[in-house]
Amino acid sequence: MESMDTIRKELKEVRYYYANREMFDQAAKDVGENEIIKTVNRYNAAVQKAPVKLYALYIGLYVGNRTQEALAQDMNFSPDYIYRQHRKLLRFLQGEIKR
């Protein structure tokens, strides 16, 4: 099982990838795919099994590159609720991600 620190580190890389997706897509044509693509695919496959609220949270935070506070406002939830849901998402992913 992955450590929570590893999950957080990899999710930061997933967020970075989606924030710069166009650059990565162009670079893949010129240079080849970066290893981050494997990580992104692993997390995307895992989150497809998540309950719908955790799935939406993943999309908002990591694919949509929003902060927890901004997502709380966008989704009309309290920041504390999003924080608690994020912890559930991390635990879910920790259980699903296998090397």
The angle at the Cα of 39, spanning 36 to 42, to the nearest 5 degrees, equals 150
- In this predicted structure, what is the pLDDT of residue 99? 55
Query: Which of 74, 10, 84 has the alpha carbon at shortest distance from 44?
Result: 10
pLDDT at 13: 97
Q: For residue range 40-83, what is the model confidence (pLDDT) as tens digits?
A: 999 999 999 999 999 999 999 999 999 999 999 999 999 999 99
Q: Indicate the DSSP class of residue 50.
A: S
For the chain, the structural domain boundaries read: 4-96
| pLDDT at residue 2, rounded to an integer | 83
Q: What is the pLDDT of residue 1?
A: 74
What is the percentage of the chain residues whose pLDDT exceeds 90?
91
> Does residue 85 carry a pLDDT above 80?
yes
Mean pLDDT of 22-40: 93
